[in-house]
Every structure is written in C-alpha cells, then in structure tokens.
Structure 1
C-alpha cells in the first residue's frame, strides 16, 4: 500500500478563521414606519402596497414606541367591520399596536438571532441604537443570511 495523496507536513497551529455574520449585515434599514396617530386604514393600505406584514411605530424623535402588524389590523376589522358597526373614531395605530416590543442588537450573530426567532415566535425584531430605530431584522433576512453561507459554517 502506498500513499495516494501527500500534501506535505501539516501545520500544528491550524487556526480556522471564523467570521461572524452579524444582524447589522442583513437587517433592513429602509423601513416603512408608522406613527401612533396614523389610522388603521392607512396602515392596512401600506401593508398591502409594500407587501409587508407589519412595521415599527415611532415617535417624532424616531424612538420605537410599538409594533403594528397584520394581526393587529385584523383585530380592528373583527371588532368593527365584520359586525357592520360604525367606524370607531379612535381606530389609530396607538390603540391597536403592541407596546411590549422585543428588540435585537445589531452586533448579535445572525444565527443567535435565528434562535431568538424560534424561541419567541416573532416575525420581526426592531434594531435599536442609542434609543433610536436603526433597522429591523425579519425571518426572511435570516434566511437570506443562511443561504449566503458557504459550507457548514453554522
């Protein structure tokens, strides 16, 4: 039996260079945002037009104050339009948005973020820096990151 392939002496200090893929590499920064005083009809129109399932709600200082989603809009529809009730004059984002919002750090590894999606059952996480909204990471962004990884670097 002979040696089939010989590549020379192996270095004993082989260091595998690991480059982290961060949330900031894949987060969306051009966001459709809403204000608390926006009407839900406007939100529904924007969700359909922009083909999104929800968006962050910010104040005039671009600070995150909530999230409005398709589900929140459906709650409004089921409470009024379904029963043919008169339109609620207070059908604003501020009334229907979720205010207890989980955020994610822009320096988090994208695959740690994937685990956070699984454990929290959320569809999107706003990214905050110094109290200001700087982006959003969605489940689709994590999928884009996963498909771009070559080999088994998970």
Structure 2
C-alpha cells in the first residue's frame, strides 16, 4: 500500500467569474416623457423627432401614470384621417396605456428578456424602491447587453 507523503490536501473551490447583468446597467436614463394633457399631435411630433417608438407619461409631480406608444398614436391618426378631421384633438390621457408593467433596476437582464418575450411589450419603465421613474429598458437595450456578455457564466 502506497501512502501519500504530503498528507491530506485542502481542496480549493473553483472560482467562477460571474457577470453582473442588471437592468440598471443598460437602461436609458435620459428619457423623453409626456404629460397626460398633451395632444396626440405633440406626441407624434416628438416620437418622430427623437426617433423613438414610445415614452412614459408622467403627471405634474413626476409620477409615472402611463405609457404612450406610436401604436396608440397611430390609432388616433388613422381615425382622424378616416373621418377627414384635419387636427387631432385627442389627449395623451385618452390613449395611453395606464396599466403599465414596471421593472426594478436590479432585475437580471436575462429575466427582463424573458419578460419581453412572454409579454410582447417593447419597453418597461424602470422604478426604484420609492416608486420613482429612473429609466426605461427596451428590447434593444437588452440585445445590446446580451451582445456584450461573455458566452459563459451568466447569472
């Protein structure tokens, strides 16, 4: 029988480098926002000017009250053209989505990707623990995050 002359060896755990991939690291923080009382035409102009597809709607206290998208605006534009109305009189509050699904900044980016796929939503407002709107994460932001990840050790 052969005995090891070095004695009992301490087995060191394998350290795996993990990547922090939170929503807060990839969300947009410089947001275009709209007021519930703004006209749909103002929203259309801003969406086109800034080349965005939608934005949060905040009240006079800066609280998130909804989201308005180009799809919401398109419905009003088509209705106006169909009825041959020259000016759209609709207000944001009448056309925005008010049952908005929010996301926390510490949410894992892959969990956010899963939410996008399951809910078929294009953007999520990001709110902190105090309910303040601090950003927005889009599908494009998630794709950028995943593209920048190493191909192993996601968490």
Q: Same fold (TM over 0.5)?
A: yes
Q: CA deviation at 1:32?
A: 0.3
Q: What is the aligned partner in structure 1 of residue 67 from structure 2?
A: 67
Unaligned 5+ segments in structure 2 are 1-10
Q: CA deviation at 1:96?
A: 0.6
Q: What is the aligned partner in structure 2 of residue 125 from structure 1?
A: 124
Q: Deviations over 1:2-61 (max 9, x none)?
A: xxxxxxxxx641121323210000000000000001111110000001000000000112
> TM-score normalised to the size of structure 2?
0.87
Q: CA deviation at 1:150?
A: 1.8
Q: CA deviation at 1:152?
A: 2.7
Segments of 4+ in structure 1 off by > 2 A?
Answer: 85-89, 151-154
Q: Deviations over 1:97-145 (max 9, x none)?
A: 0101001110011011100100000000000121211000000000110
> TM-score normalised to the size of structure 1?
0.87
Unaligned 5+ segments in structure 1 are 1-10
1:84 is the counterpart of 2:84:
yes
Aligned residues: 144
Larger radius of gyration: 2
Aligned alpha-carbon RMSD (Å): 1.6
